[in-house]
Structure 1
Amino acid sequence: MPAPRQTPGKGRPTPSRREREAARRRPLVPEDRKAAKAQSRDAAREQRLRAQAGLAAGDERFLGPRDRGPQRRFARDWIDSRFNLGEYLLVVAVVALFVLFFPNQNVAAYGVYVIWALMVLGIVDAVVTTGRMKKAMRARFGDVEPGVRWYAAMRAFSMRRLRLPRPQVKRGDRPA
């Protein structure tokens, strides 16, 4: 009968619980609290600046869940490559708001008509644009995620220079 094998030792004694706890022990509060707080604040600021730059550049790692994915990127590029009536709705609404305060009621009424006309035209433009976008997405991706049309329509109604993530394509360019 063969002799039972013995596992080799690790070459040092097993540390006691007291030794392990002493090795792990750290102070709860740093020695210089003011310097630690300043260092933490600087690190957080650096992280925020990196995230902000990544978001502006459209880097997927820094995008929120709403903006992630190839279909959302395609929708952003599709909207950004076109002229949309909706992006001027806010500007015209503010101008028309001032017109509403004119003493002449006819001018105020025309201001209301302009706001309504632009809203209707903007909605029709968004529906037509997102319908075409969905058709192109079906050709490229097959199945289209739910909510992509709404995402694209809301982007079409925001002013181009205020959009986040920033537009990656110029007007007139084809989306990638």
Structure 2
Amino acid sequence: MTGYPEGVFRRRSASAATDSHSSESASHEATEATQPKGYTPKKGVPTPKRKESERDLRRPLNAPQSRKEAYRAYRGRLDRQRGRTARDGGAAKGEERYFRPQDHGAARAFARDFVDSRRSLSEFFLPLSVVIVLLMFVNNPTAQMVVAYVLWPLMMVTIVIEGVLVGRTVKRRAGQYFPDDPSVKGSGLYAAMRQIQFRRLRLPKPRVKVREDPTPRYVR
């Protein structure tokens, strides 16, 4: 009876199994590196480990790849912050070179002066909103009903009415004073949005006093 050759049913050694697994892993990584984006591996292929997947998900998309890039990004953020600080400070002082694009133009200057020369309920929108929100937490159902269905709607209706009135007036008068100024377009909405800002927080800073005539001097 002829016997089987040696090693037919012999188990492979631990070192041989380890070498085989390492070669398969290296082959699998090389294959994944050459596959296009969106490639779905076939069944039977081992999936990445959980730690590796979590590490890839936590990695920032636009993270700097070197210290030089990180320093360049930091300098860019610092320059932008300095630019915003200088722009806000210049706008508060009335320097036109620091104005936003929507603040330029004679019609826009008149709109600001018109709004700044009068008092309105709309300029107290932010503090009134805070008060109304605080009143909503009062443990009194009647007070909550009054705030939700009376005070809040009344304030919003008042702001809308004042915004429409001031917008129409500013646009009409700006068109009369500056007929060739392209900034007349949109000056009504510009005035209405400025009106809901608290006077001390408005930028550019108000240059006329309350109840002062906002009409340009050469038109008076």
**TM-score of the superposed pair, with normalisation by structure 1:** 0.68
CA distance in 2, matches of 1:54, 1:102: 43
Greater RCO structure (CA 8 Å; 6+ sep): 1
1:149 match: 188
1:75 match: 111
Which structure 1 residue ranges, 5 or more long, are not aligned? 1-40
Contact 2:169 2:188 survives alignment (8 Å): no
2:3 match: none
Is 1:123–2:160 an aligned residue pair?
yes
CA positional deviation for 1:52: 3.7
The 5 A counterparts of 1:12-51 are 51=87
The 5 A counterparts of 1:56-95 are 56-95=92-131
Give % identity. Answer: 36
Residue 95 and residue 51 in structure 1: after superposition, are their counterparts in 2 closer, same or farther (change >3 A)? closer
Mean Cα deviation higher: 87-96 or 154-163: 87-96
CA positional deviation for 1:135: 2.0
**TM-score of the superposed pair, with normalisation by structure 2:** 0.56
CA positional deviation for 1:172: 0.5
The 5 A counterparts of 1:91-102 are 91-102=127-138
Which structure 2 residue ranges, 5 or more long, are not aligned? 1-77
Contact 1:92 1:115 survives alignment (8 Å): no
User: How large is the RMSD of aligned CA atoms in angstroms?
Assistant: 2.4
CA distance in 1, matches of 2:127, 2:211: 23
DSSP-derived class of the 1:66 partner:
helix
Greater CA radius of gyration, 1 or 2? 2
CA distance in 2, matches of 1:173, 1:125: 19
CA distance in 2, matches of 1:115, 1:49: 35
Cα-to-partner distance string for 1:43-80 (whole Å, 9 max, x where unaligned)? x95x7665443211222211111111111111111111
CA distance in 2, matches of 1:126, 1:79: 10
Contact 2:96 2:104 survives alignment (8 Å): yes
Q: 1:170 aligns with which of 209, 212, 217?
A: 209
